[in-house]
Structure 1
Amino acid sequence: MTLYDTIGKTYARTRNSDRRIATKLLEILPGLQGSTIADIGAGTGSYAIVLAEQGCQVIAVEPSQTMRSQAPTHFAIQWIDAYADNIPLPDQSVDAAIIMLAFHHFQNYQRSLQEICRITKNGQIVLFTFDPAFASQFWLTKYFPSFIKDVELTFLPILELKAEIQSVTNNVFNVLPFPLPHDLADSFAAVGWGRPELYLDRTIRDGISSFAKINSDELNTGLSQLQRDLETGVWDQQYGYLRQQDQYDAGYCFVYSSVA
């Protein structure tokens, strides 16, 4: 059983594709018409759908039945029940692979990278991920301090991630920071950077793995403090300027290869 078999039952309600993230993904992967793309750790298929609607054949690899059961059907998407470190596809069978906020869930990331490179022609890979160096700068960690440790344990530092990928492919890799828009539609961990009230919504929290990992005492204490700070205006005194910003660099980025 995967983590998301337990916590992912309402995932499709809050983890929708964001049009700005989708647009950037499509810019990084031009000329998609007719291509076969593997979506590794596809979740409920929110970005697989984006690619399918661009004329791609998508192979969505996802081990969680709970997640797969929430995915919308699309004739151009083939679902495979598998983990990233053991993908049942032939060598060089896809034109490119995407990993959208999923790499940190891979149990064996080195073996997973080898597998993804094995199935991908020219090793063309796009990851959307998070730089753990940014974790302590985010105001949410003041309320839930164990988030910092969780991020440090689960996300590879960006330079280390690049080095790991480079060890299995000869392609040139680029890092493209992606500041989050204020009205982010994909409700991952930093969705409420300028809308703190979102974190008081259990449905939002249920789609964020970090909330599932902290103990109940820290969760309840943090939520109570956040609610008090919002009611008394303390949060706005400290962080209210964020409400006026159109975007915020929370540390998310694309790491992608261009064919050498």
Structure 2
Amino acid sequence: MATYDRIGATYGRTRRPDSRIAARIHEALGDAGTVVNVGAGTGSYEPPNTVWAIEPSSVMIAQRPEASAPALEASAESIPLADDSADAVMALLTVHHWNDLEAGVAELRRIARRRVVVLTWDQTVFRGFWLLAEYLPEVAAFDGTRAVPIGRLVALLGGARVEAVPVPHDCTDGFGAAFWRRPEAYLDPHVRAGISMLALTGEDVLGPGLARLADDLSTGRWHERHADLLQREALDVGYRLLVADL
């Protein structure tokens, strides 16, 4: 069973694309006339010229908007498309779920004529995020087992430009660090269900750390400790865009 057949039921509600992040992704795609989205999920950030979406989870495919690109239920490691199927291929917050990274990246390069765009995170930065560092070290340890080192990914892509993607304080896409200035959101089980690092860790493991967070919020300790964050409009938590020209 695909991971998101188990945890992906809320993604259509909690993972709404953020327009500012969308602008960065679409800029990275450049003037590509056709795009394939691999690990497409519910279709967030797909530009209008997306011709195919590749997604292994039927639960995620069922949440795709009616007018979105046609989806093929398939894995990144074995994409049922011909060589050079699109000008550009994008893979957003997905490579850490792949069973065979080398095979998956080879497939991205095979079906792309000109460019591959990958959105991922740099674990060396992300593990310092206050939620993990102060409350949920178990999640940091879990993420460390599945995070793909940026250097390894760049090498597999045959070279790539690496760009930081700061997260807006009011980000509408509820991924892992989206609520860095809205800490109370992490106490909402519906929000946690849409964040794979939390959903896959499990509520029993998260419980003690979330209880400490709730207490720190009720007493004001969190706000005192992170007063500097409350003045920030965006924060670099480690998310990175990799842009590889073939």
Give TM class, smaller chain: over 0.9
SS in 1 for 2:119: strand
**Is 1:179 the equivalent of 2:166?**
yes
Residue number among 126, 139, 151 corresponding to 2:117 in the alignment = 126
C-alpha distance in 2 between matches for 1:136 and 1:129? 14
**Is 1:84 the equivalent of 2:82?**
no
Tell which deviates more after alignment, 103-112 or 148-157: 148-157
1:135–1:151 Cα contact (<8 Å) kept: no
Tell which deviates more after alignment, 79-88 or 131-140: 131-140
Instruction: Kindly report which structure 2 residues correspond to 1:1-260, keeping only aligned pairs within 5 A, or say none.
Output: 1-32=1-32, 35-48=33-46, 51-52=47-48, 56-74=49-67, 77-122=69-114, 124-141=115-132, 142-166=134-158, 172-259=159-246
1:97–1:120 Cα contact (<8 Å) kept: yes
In 2 relative to 1, CA 23–216 (structure 1 residues): closer, same or farther, beyond 3 Å?
A: closer
2:37–2:50 Cα contact (<8 Å) kept: no
Shift of 1:65: 0.5
Shift of 1:90: 0.7
Structure 2 match to 1:169:
none
C-alpha distance in 2 between matches for 1:159 and 1:57? 28
Cα shift readout 1:115-143 (whole Å, capped 9, x = no counterpart): 11111113x10011100101331110121
Give the TM-score of the pair, scaled to structure 2.
0.95
C-alpha distance in 1 between matches for 2:160 and 2:197? 28
2:179–2:186 Cα contact (<8 Å) kept: yes
C-alpha distance in 2 between matches for 1:72 and 1:57? 13
SS in 2 for 1:71: coil
2:95–2:148 Cα contact (<8 Å) kept: no
Q: Find runs of 4+ consecutive structure 1 residues off by over 3 angstroms.
A: none
C-alpha distance in 1 between matches for 2:207 and 2:215? 12
Tell which deviates more after alignment, 249-258 or 142-151: 142-151
Q: For this pair of structures, how many residues does the alignment match?
A: 245
Shift of 1:255: 0.5
C-alpha distance in 2 between matches for 1:108 and 1:147? 22
C-alpha distance in 2 between matches for 1:82 and 1:214? 25
In 2 relative to 1, CA 231–57 (structure 1 residues): closer, same or farther, beyond 3 Å?
A: closer
Q: Letter of the 1:187 partner, please give it.
A: G
1:180–1:247 Cα contact (<8 Å) kept: yes
Shift of 1:215: 4.1
SS in 2 for 1:98: strand
SS in 2 for 1:115: helix
Q: Structure 2 stretches of 5 or more lacking a match? A: none
Q: Structure 1 stretches of 5 or more lacking a match? A: 167-171
Shift of 1:147: 1.6
SS in 1 for 2:51: strand
SS in 1 for 2:127: helix
Give the TM-score of the pair, scaled to structure 1.
0.91
The two structures, once aligned, show a CA RMSD in angstroms of 1.3
C-alpha distance in 1 between matches for 2:174 and 2:204? 24
Q: Letter of the 2:13 partner, please give it.
A: R
SS in 2 for 1:46: coil
Q: Letter of the 2:230 partner, please give it.
A: R
